[in-house]
Amino acid sequence: MASPVITLATGSNQYYSSPYTPPEGVNLRLNYYSVDKLYYHSFDTGSGTILQSSSYEHYLESSFTTSSRYLGPKGMVYSIPQQLYGLHVEPGSLVFASGSNTIVDDGEGNLIQSSTGANVGNIIYTHGQVIITDGTLFQTFMTSSGQPISWKSNNLIHTYNFTLRVSDSEFNHTYNPTAQSGSTIFYYSGSLSESSSRYLRPSGIYADNVTGSAFQPYMTSVGLYNSANELIAIGKFPNPVPKPADTELTIQIKLDV
């Protein structure tokens, strides 16, 4: 997670040059202007309120603004990768610590210093951008050796619901080879060694204990197939379920993707 400084100060390595230089701690003016244009350009530099004439996206993180939004001549931006925060950073979940300084977000897009209650920056939840605008705190974070940050991500989960109806005339017999008599054990190695991998070749003859009219097979899982008759998911019952022979059975399946 990159943590580049943003500043208007002039000097070397403030702009892209040839050969290309990665923007990790360099090209500081370009980083500053990018952050300013995206998140602060629509706010008045004096009052911090939204400019009425602005037609830009304001990226407000709430239906109401609890404080103004300022960007001074220096700052620091922590960019959380999108694959780590999903749809957005969950409001009110960010905790950012550097030494004795702890910053939390107020759920409205503002970064608050826990010890003083001061507004020290902003967080853009939908972009994963953590922006420290306080000049004093910015210098403290620059010299800190460790800056642990934690947050809760928000990911979209699609839930599919399936209803399966099994009539009373279906699935009333078992094909389990252990329910057949005279089944033969074969070893893949060709020998009769107990240590070898083996399989059971069914005989096709049901054992006496499963041929009575009172016997019904138990179901332990349900397979879901696509249009090409390919198995794509298997649902497991918490406990084996007896298949009724005289009533229709309805099975509800919920699949989260």
**What share of the chain has pLDDT > 90, as a percent?**
22
* Helix, strand, coil share (%) of the chain residues, nearest 5: 10, 35, 55
Which has the higher per-residue pLDDT, 184 or 97?
97
What is the arithmetic mean of pLDDT over 144-158? Answer: 82
Weakest mean pLDDT among 84-88, 112-116, 118-122, 171-175: 171-175
CA distance linking residue 61 with residue 94, whole number of Å: 14
Give yes or no for residue 2 having a pLDDT over 50: no
Q: Quickly state the pLDDT bin for 141 (edges 50, 70, 90).
A: confident
- pTM over the 0.85 mark: no
Q: Distance between the two ends of the chain, CA-based, in angstroms?
A: 28
The pair phi, psi for residue 31, each rounded to 5°, is -60, -40
pLDDT for residue 1: 47
Identity of residue 155: N
Mean pLDDT of the chain: 78
